[in-house]
Amino acid sequence: MTTALQIVLFYVFGAVSVISAILVITRKNAVHSALFLILTLFSVAGIFLINGAEFIAAVQVLVYAGGIMVLFLFVILLVRLEGIEKQRDYQTQWWIAVPLAVIFIFMIGMMVQADKDYAIKTDRQVVSIETTTGQEVAGNVQEVGWILFRDYLLPFEIASVLLLMAMIAAIVLARKEID
Amino acid sequence: MHQEFHAIPAILNYFWLIPFFPALGSLVNGIFGRKYFSRRVIHLIACGTVLISLILSILCLSALIGLPAEERLIEKEIYTWIPESTSHTRDGATVIFKIAAGYQLDPLSAVMLIVVCGVGFLIHVYSIGYMAHEEGKYYRFFCYMNLFTFAMLTLVLGNNFLVMFVGWEGVGLCSYLLIGFWFKKKSAADAGKKAFVVNRIGDLGFLMGMLTIFYYFGTLDLTEVMHNAHHIYTVFGAGIITTITLCLFVGAIGKSAQIPLYVWLPDAMEGPTPVSALIHAATMVTAGVYMVARCSELFVLAPISMTVVAVVGVATALYSASIGLVQNDIKRVLAYSTVSQLGYMFLACGVGAFAVGIFHLMTHAFFKGLLFLGAGSVIHAMSGEQDIRYMGGLKKHIPRTYWTFLFATFAIAGIFPFAGFFSKDEILWKSFEHHFVLWLAGAIAAGMTAFYMFRLLFMTFWGSEERIDPEKKKHIHESPNSMTIPLVILAILSLIGGFVGVPHALPLLGRIEFLTEKFNINSWLAPVIAGGAHGPAGHGELGVAHHGDWLLEVIMMGVSIAIALIGIYLAYLFYIKKPELPKKLAENFRSLYQLVLEKYRVDELYDFLFVNHIKWWCNAFIKVDNHVIDGAVNGSAWFTRLNSSISIWYDTYIVDGLVNLIGWTVKINSFIFRRCMTGYIQNYALIIIFGVVAITCIYLFF
Amino acid sequence: MVSLNHYLILSALLFTIGVIGVLIRRNVIIILMSIELMLNAVNINLVAFSNHLDSMIGQIFTIFTITVAAAEAAIGLAILIALYRNKKTVAVDEIDIMRW
C-alpha cells in the first residue's frame, strides 16, 4: 500500500485503539468496558492489516473479538452487579499507579527515540517461503500455514493440548459444587 | 621341706582333711541351718564332722607312732599363694621362700589334734543337751562351734607362721562370736568385744614377731625358721632373737590370758558354758602355749625371754589364784583357775620344759573341760543359778555330776594318781631345778588352787540345802545323758590321762620302761622341741638340784601332795566344819577382802589408764566424722544445689532468653514488614511495575 | 512515513493503558479486560517487528500469544465465577484472605 494510506490508516486505527482503550479502563459499567474493548480489538486488527498480517487480523477478530469477548459478556451477565454504581470503582493507589505508568511510557519513548538499530540476528533464516523454497507465495495465509505446520508443528500441537487443558480447567472451576 | 618317705601309711596322706570336715559342717549349718534343718540334723552334722575329724586324728596318730622318730614330719600344701623362690636371710644365706596354705603333721601337732578333736567332740555332744532350750539360734551355735574347731585345727596344723596366724585370728573371731552369742544381753555383747579387743593387742605383738622373723630369716616356714635359728643367733646375736620371742610372747599373753592381758577371760564367762569349756579351758587359750612350744628353738636361744615367760607365768598363776579364792560365781572361779593353770604352762615353758607344758596343757584340757561342763550341769540343774552362795548339798540330787566333778577337782589339786598330779608335779620339779623362788611361788599357787577348788566343791555339793532358793529347789534334776556321758568320759581321762607322763623318779611305776620311755609324752615330743625330752642342759643359778637326782624328786613329789592336802583340809575347815570362819575373816580384813573380791580393781585401772582415753578419742573422731566428713559431703551437696540453681537461672534467663530474643526480633520485625502482605493483588502488581520501571531506568541510564 | 518507532510507541501506549487499568480498577472483570489489552499491545509489537524484519516468526508467535490469551481468559473467568460464588463480590479489595 502507499505510504500516505499507511500513514492515514495507522493514525486512524491508532487513535481509535488508544481512545477506546482509555474508555475501557474508565467506564463504570462493565458492559460498556467490554464493548469498548471490542472496538479496541477491531482497531488492533486493523493495524495488523496495515502490517500485512491478514491471517492474524482475521484470527484476532474471530477468536478475540468473537470468542473471548462473548465469554466476557456472558460472565458479566452471570455476575449480578447491582449496587456497583454506589461503590467507588477506583483504587486508592491510583495516585501512585498513574504517575508510575506515565513515567514508564516516557521511558519507553526515550528508549525508542534512542534510534537504535533493531536488526536482530537470528541463526535460523526462516524469513519467508520465498527465501527457503524459492517459489511464489499465494499470500500471507499460505505462508503462515506453511511455516506453522512445517517448522513449528510441535508448538502447534502443544498449543492445542494447552487449549484442551484450559477447557477442562474452566469447566471444573466454574461448575456448581455437588453437595 | 619334704623328706624322702618310704612306705608311709596311706592314711597320713589325708591328714590335711582333718580341718576340712568341721569347716564343711560349719558352712552347711550356717547356710542351710536356719530354715531347712531340724535340730536333730544340725547337731548330727556338727558332732558328726568333729567325730570324723577325731577318728581321722586317732588314725593319723597311730600311723605316726608306727613311723620311726626321725620321719615323723609330714607336710602337705593345699594351695600355693606365692610359689617357691629363693630369698635371703638378713646376712645373705639363701633360704627358700614360699607362702602356701600348708599343713604339717608332727608329734606336737598330733597331740594337739587329739586334744582339740577329742575334747571338742565331747563338748559338742554336751552342747546338744545344754543348748536344747535355745530358741531359734541352735544352728548358729553349732555353726560357730564348728568354725572354731576348724580355726583351731588350722592353727595347730599350720606349717608356716601365716597359716598359724590365720588360725590364731580365726579362733579370736570365733571367741568373740561365741562369747557374745546371747548378744541381746548387753553384758554378753560387751564381753565379746572386750575379748576381741584385748586379744587383738596380743595379736599385734604376734604380728610384729612374725614380721621380724621374716625380716631376718627371709622365710616364714616353720621348719626353715627353726632350722636356721641357731645360724641367725650366731650371726646377729641374742638381741634379735630376744626381740622376736618377746613379740611372739606378747601374742601368747593376749591369747592365753596372762598378766596384763588376762582381763577378758573372766568376762568371757558370759557365753554359754560349753563355749567356756571348749574355748577357754581346753583349746583357744592353749594356743599361746602351743605357739611357744612350737617356737621352742627360738626361745632357748634367748634366756632373757625365757625368764620373762617363766616370771610372767608364775606371777599370773599366783595372782589369779588369789582372786579365785573369794569369787562367788562358779564360772568365775573356774575362769581364774584357768588363768592360773595357764600360768603354770608358761612357767614350764619358761624353765625349758616345753614338753611338760604341753603335757599340762593336755591334762588341763581334760580336767578343766570337765569342771566347766560339770558347772554347766549344775547351772542346768539349778535353773540358771550361778552363785555358789545359794547352793548346797547337791550331791544327793545330781550324783553323776558330783562324782565327775570330784574327780576333776582331785585332778586339778594334784592328787596322785589323777592326771593333774603328774603334770603339775613335773612343772614344779622343773622349776625347782631352775630357780627356787619360781618353785616357791608355784607351790603357794598350787596350795591356793587346791583350797579354792575344794571350797567350790564344798559350797556347791556338800552342806545343807538351806541356801537354795525354794523355787529352784523344786526343779533340781540330773542332766540328760547327752550331758552326763561326756562328763563320765572326761572323768575317766582325768583319772588315767596322766600316765603318759610318768617320770623316772616315781617309785614302782617309774621302773616300768614302757611307761617312761615308749609311752611317754616327753619322749614323744622330744624330736620337735628344743633341748630334747628333759629340757636344756643348763639350768638356772639358783637351781637347787641336778638332773637325775631322783630322791630329791620323790621328796618334792611328797611335798606337792602335802601342800595340796593342806589346801583341801583348810577348805574343809572353812566351809564344812566352821562355816562362820570365812565371814569372820572377811569382816576383819574388810578392805583387803573387798579389793580381792573386786579383782584388784584391774578393770577399773585399765579403764582409767586406757579405755577412757580411747573413748575420748573415739568421741572426738565421731565428731570429726559427723561435722567434718559428713559436713564435707553435705557441703558438696549444698554446693551442687547452688550450682544447679545458678544453672537454672542461666538456663531460664540467658539461654532461653537468647532463643526468645530471636523470636522477639522476628516478631518485632514482622510487625513492620508484614504490612507488605496486604492481600491485594493490585498492590503486588504495582510493585511489579515499580520493578519494571527500575530496570528500565537502569537500562537507560547506566 | 510510518516507521517502526511509531508502532512501538503505540504498543507501549496501549500496554501502559492496560497496566493502569490493572492497577486502578476494583472490578475484577475490568482487570481481566486490561490484561487482554496488554496482550494485544504485545501482539502489535510482534507483528510490527515481523513486518519490519521480513520474518514470519513474529506472526507465528502472535498466533501462539492469541492462543494462550484465549486459554488464560477462559480460566480467569472461570475462577472469577467460582470466586463470585464464594465471596459474592467482584471487587478485588474485598478479597484479602491472604492478608497478614
Local structure of residue B75 (DSSP, 8 states) = E
Among A78-92, B3-17, B89-103, B532-546, name the one with the lowest average pLDDT. B532-546
What are the Cα distances from residue B117, in Å, to B78, B101, B108, B141, B365?
A: 21, 21, 14, 17, 11
Closest CA to A127 of B195, B244, C57, B126: C57
Average pLDDT of A152-170? 94
Instruction: Say whether B146 sits in a helix, a strand or coil.
Output: helix
Asked if A166's CB is within 8 angstroms of C74's CB, the reply is yes
C8: nearest CB among A6, A112, A144: A112
pLDDT given at position B68: 75
- Angstrom distance (rounded) from CA B492 to CA B496: 6
Interface of A with C in 44-103 (CB under 8 A): 44, 47-48, 50-53, 55-56, 59-60, 63-64, 67-68, 71-72, 75-76, 78-79, 81, 84, 87-91, 93-94, 97-98, 100-102
Asked if B686's CB is within 8 angstroms of C98's CB, the reply is no
For residue A174, which amino acid is it?
A
- Angstrom distance (rounded) from CA B5 to CA B13: 11
User: Per-residue b/e over B245-256, b at no fewer than 16 CB within 10 Å?
Assistant: bbbbbbbbbbbb
Closest CA to B124 of B105, B103, B141, B104: B141
Residue B107 has pLDDT above 60, yes or no: yes
- Angstrom distance (rounded) from CA B20 to CA B30: 15
Residue B1 has pLDDT above 50, yes or no: no
Using an 8 Å CB-CB cutoff, list chain B residues near C12: none
Residue A179's pLDDT band, with cuts at 50, 70 and 90, is low
pLDDT given at position B150: 93
Instruction: Say whether B15 sits in a helix, a strand or coil.
Output: helix
- Angstrom distance (rounded) from CA B71 to CA B106: 9
- Angstrom distance (rounded) from CA A130 to CA A170: 41
Using omega within 30 degrees of 0 as the cis cutoff, is the peptide bond preceding B83 cis?
no
Using an 8 Å CB-CB cutoff, list chain B residues near C99: 677-679
- The alpha-helical segments, DSSP class H, found in B67-86 are none
pLDDT given at position B543: 43
pLDDT given at position B544: 46
The answer to whether B285 and B252 have CB atoms below 8 angstroms apart is: no
- Estimate to the nearest angstrom the gap between the alpha carbon of B536 and the chain centroid: 30
Q: Residue B210 has which C-alpha cell?
A: 612374725
- The alpha-helical segments, DSSP class H, found in chain C are 4-24, 28-53, 57-87
Asked if B679's CB is within 8 angstroms of C100's CB, the reply is yes
pLDDT given at position A118: 57
pLDDT given at position B530: 67
For residue B491, the tally of other CB atoms under 10 A from its CB is: 23
The three-state DSSP-derived secondary structure of B96-142 is: EEEEEEEEEECHHHHHHHHHHHHHHHHHHHHHHHHHHHCCCCHHHHH
- Beta bridge partners, B99, equal B82
The answer to whether B299 and B530 have CB atoms below 8 angstroms apart is: yes
Q: State the first-to-last Cα distance of chain C, in angstroms, to the nearest integer.
A: 54
Among A56-70, A120-134, B247-261, C75-89, name the one with the lowest average pLDDT. A120-134
- Angstrom distance (rounded) from CA C91 to CA C82: 14
Interface of C with A in 18-77 (CB under 8 A): 18-21, 23-27, 29-30, 32-34, 36-37, 40, 43-44, 47-57, 59-60, 62-64, 66-75, 77
Mean per-residue pLDDT over chain A, rounded: 84
pLDDT given at position B148: 93
- Angstrom distance (rounded) from CA B394 to CA B64: 45
- Angstrom distance (rounded) from CA B461 to CA B456: 8
Average pLDDT of B419-442? 87
pLDDT given at position B51: 92
Asked if B682's CB is within 8 angstroms of C22's CB, the reply is yes
pLDDT given at position B508: 67
Q: Residue B195 has which C-alpha cell?
A: 575379748
pLDDT given at position B537: 42
* Per-residue pLDDT tens over the stretch B50-67: 999 999 899 888 888 877
Residue B507 has pLDDT above 70, yes or no: no
Q: Residue C37 has which C-alpha cell?
A: 489489552
Asked if A100's CB is within 8 angstroms of B689's CB, the reply is yes
Is pLDDT larger for residue B169 or for residue B89? B169
Average pLDDT of A24-30? 88
Q: State the first-to-last Cα distance of chain B, in angstroms, to the nearest integer.
A: 114
* Per-residue pLDDT tens over the stretch B310-330: 999 999 999 999 888 888 889
The answer to whether B77 and B101 have CB atoms below 8 angstroms apart is: yes
- Estimate to the nearest angstrom the gap between the alpha carbon of B646 and the chain centroid: 59
Local structure of residue B654 (DSSP, 8 states) = I
* Per-residue pLDDT tens over the stretch B628-654: 888 888 888 999 999 999 989 988 888
Is pLDDT larger for residue A121 or for residue B196? B196
Asked if A44's CB is within 8 angstroms of C59's CB, the reply is no
Among B195-199, B310-314, B541-545, C95-99, name the one with the lowest average pLDDT. B541-545
- Angstrom distance (rounded) from CA A162 to CA A174: 18
Q: Is the dihedral of CA A156, A160, A165, A170 positive or negative?
A: positive
pLDDT given at position B536: 47
Q: Exposed (0-12), middle (13-18) or buried (19+): which is B132, by Cβ within 10 Å?
A: middle
What are the Cα distances from residue C36, in Å, to A64, B85, B218, B337?
A: 9, 113, 118, 136
Q: Residue A40 has which C-alpha cell?
A: 479496541
**Torsion on CA atoms B499, B505, B506, B512, rounded to nearest 10:** 60
Residue B141 has pLDDT above 80, yes or no: yes
What are the Cα distances from residue A47, in Å, to A25, A40, C44, C46, C63?
A: 21, 11, 7, 12, 15
Among A116-120, B105-109, B257-261, name the one with the lowest average pLDDT. A116-120
Q: Is the dihedral of CA B528, B225, B360, B64 positive or negative?
A: negative
Contacts of A126 (CB under 8 A, 6+ apart): A132, A147, A151, C55, C56, C57
Q: Chain B interface, mutation test: which of A89, A98, A100, most B Cβ atoms within 10 Å?
A: A100
Q: Exposed (0-12), middle (13-18) or buried (19+): which is B524, by Cβ within 10 Å?
A: buried
Q: Exposed (0-12), middle (13-18) or buried (19+): which is B178, by Cβ within 10 Å?
A: buried
* Per-residue pLDDT tens over the stretch B162-218: 999 999 999 999 999 999 888 888 888 989 998 999 999 999 999 999 999 888 888
Using an 8 Å CB-CB cutoff, list chain A residues near C70: 63-64, 67-68, 163, 166
Asked if B689's CB is within 8 angstroms of A104's CB, the reply is yes
pLDDT given at position B540: 42
Which chain B residue is nearest to residue A101, measuring alpha carbons? B689
Average pLDDT of C49-73? 91
The answer to whether B251 and B245 have CB atoms below 8 angstroms apart is: no
- The alpha-helical segments, DSSP class H, found in B180-302 are 186-217, 222-236, 238-255, 264-267, 273-277, 287-294, 296-300
Residue B505 has pLDDT above 80, yes or no: no
Residue B355's pLDDT band, with cuts at 50, 70 and 90, is confident
For residue B51, which amino acid is it?
L
Q: Exposed (0-12), middle (13-18) or buried (19+): which is B548, by Cβ within 10 Å?
A: exposed
Mean per-residue pLDDT over chain B, rounded: 84
pLDDT given at position B533: 45
pLDDT given at position A130: 62
- Angstrom distance (rounded) from CA B541 to CA B13: 47
Is pLDDT larger for residue B400 or for residue A21? A21
Mean per-residue pLDDT over chain C, rounded: 90
Local structure of residue A90 (DSSP, 8 states) = B
pLDDT given at position A1: 60
Q: Which residue matches cell numbers 608364775?
A: B314
Residue A167 has pLDDT above 90, yes or no: yes
Residue B376 has pLDDT above 60, yes or no: yes
- Angstrom distance (rounded) from CA B44 to CA B640: 59
Average pLDDT of A142-166? 92
Task: Report, in this order, helix, strand and coil percent for chain B, each rounded to 5.
Answer: 75, 5, 20
What are the Cα distances from residue C38, in Å, to A10, B105, B525, C24?
A: 19, 126, 137, 14
pLDDT given at position B654: 87
**H-helix or E-strand spanning residue B693:** helix B681-701
Asked if B677's CB is within 8 angstroms of C98's CB, the reply is yes
Q: Does A12 touch chain C (CB under 8 A)?
A: no
The answer to whether B386 and B454 have CB atoms below 8 angstroms apart is: no
